[in-house]
């Protein structure tokens, strides 16, 4: 298989998944509104004091982003598994890992990227300064692909399993911890004047590791599920 064939297959999978997502907009929007609502609930529960809100903002936004991206995980492979597309993908001449990577990229474009773009608006509710909002967007841009990559492993493992939706949260959330710490830490250390570079670099390193192992582990998990 020529390299162009692999790349075109990757592009085709991404285009297909994006098209499918656009045809069913409510699925995508539900996740986004979940993110908005969860973040907006925190001030109601904690109180409107701005100093406190400014302090908890990075953590709240990140935890909400984890939950929102986890919410959309069961959909990642379920539909393709149900109608047999996934089996065709596993049988095709293109390596399954490439197709899985395409699906993960599409999942991020649909569920991670909008979160990162929406975060500044929500950050304003918490009175974050403008430069901190910039760091927040940058951290989310680096961190949300990690969530999609790790989440895909969990989604592959729980494919077609009883109570898969709840189970995936149990599997995936502990593994999200480093992304949460470095992501929220970047914004916090920027606010406190320490600079966000260290946290962002570590987050990017974690992304590199997840990008290397994630699709591979997901492929193994999917092959187990398809047996």
Residues that bind another protein (CB under 8 A): 150, 153, 157-158, 161-164, 167, 170-171, 173-175, 177-178, 181-182, 185, 188-189, 202, 206, 209, 213, 217, 220-221, 224-225, 227
- Between 4 and 192, name the residue whose CB sits nearer to another protein: 192
- Between 33 and 213, name the residue whose CB sits nearer to another protein: 213
Supply the minimum distance, in Å, between the C-beta of residue 190 and another protein: 12
- Between 21 and 221, name the residue whose CB sits nearer to another protein: 221
- Between 48 and 193, name the residue whose CB sits nearer to another protein: 193
Supply the minimum distance, in Å, between the C-beta of residue 153 and another protein: 6
Supply the minimum distance, in Å, between the C-beta of residue 181 and another protein: 4
Supply the minimum distance, in Å, between the C-beta of residue 158 and another protein: 7
Supply the minimum distance, in Å, between the C-beta of residue 204 and another protein: 13
How far is Cα 118 from Cα 85, in angstroms, rounded to an integer?
32
- Between 123 and 185, name the residue whose CB sits nearer to another protein: 185
Alpha-carbon separation of residue 146 from 56, 65, 191, 199, 216 (angstroms): 22, 12, 24, 14, 14
Contact 161, 81 (CB under 8 A): no
Find all residues with CB under 8 Å of 131, minimum gap 6, and list them: 190
Supply the minimum distance, in Å, between the C-beta of residue 12 and another protein: 27
Residue-by-residue DSSP string for 53-95: HHHHHHHHHHHHHHHHHHHTTTHHHHHHHHTTHHHHHHHSSS-
In terms of phi and psi (left: phi > 0; alpha: psi -120 to 50; beta: otherwise), the region of 160 is left
Closest CA to 122 of 56, 201, 169: 56
- Between 80 and 188, name the residue whose CB sits nearer to another protein: 188
How far is Cα 180 from Cα 216, in angstroms, rounded to an integer?
23
Structure tokens at 130: 């403008």
């Amino acid at each position: 298989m020529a390299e162009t064939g692999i790349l075109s297959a990757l592009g085709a999978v991404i285009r297909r998944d994006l098209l499918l997502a656009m045809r069913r907009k409510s699925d995508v929007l539900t996740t986004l509104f979940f993110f908005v609502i969860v973040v907006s609930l925190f001030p109601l529960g904690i109180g409107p004091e701005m100093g406190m809100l400014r302090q908890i903002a990075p953590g709240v936004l990140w935890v909400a982003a984890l939950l929102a991206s986890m919410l959309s995980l069961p959909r990642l492979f379920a539909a393709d598994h149900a109608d047999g597309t996934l089996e065709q993908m596993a049988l095709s001449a293109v390596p399954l890992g490439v197709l899985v990577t395409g699906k993960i990229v599409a999942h991020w474009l649909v569920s991670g990227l909008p979160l990162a773009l929406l975060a500044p608006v929500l950050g304003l509710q918490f009175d974050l300064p403008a430069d901190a909002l910039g760091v927040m967007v940058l951290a989310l841009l680096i961190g949300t692909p990690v969530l999609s990559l790790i989440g895909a492993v969990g989604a592959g493992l729980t494919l077609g399993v009883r109570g898969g939706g709840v189970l995936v949260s149990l599997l995936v959330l502990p593994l999200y911890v480093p992304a949460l710490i470095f992501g929220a830490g970047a914004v916090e250390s920027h606010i406190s004047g320490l600079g966000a570079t260290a946290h962002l670099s570590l987050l990017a390193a974690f992304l590199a590791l997840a990008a290397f192992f994630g699709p591979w582990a997901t492929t193994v998990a999917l092959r187990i599920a398809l047996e």
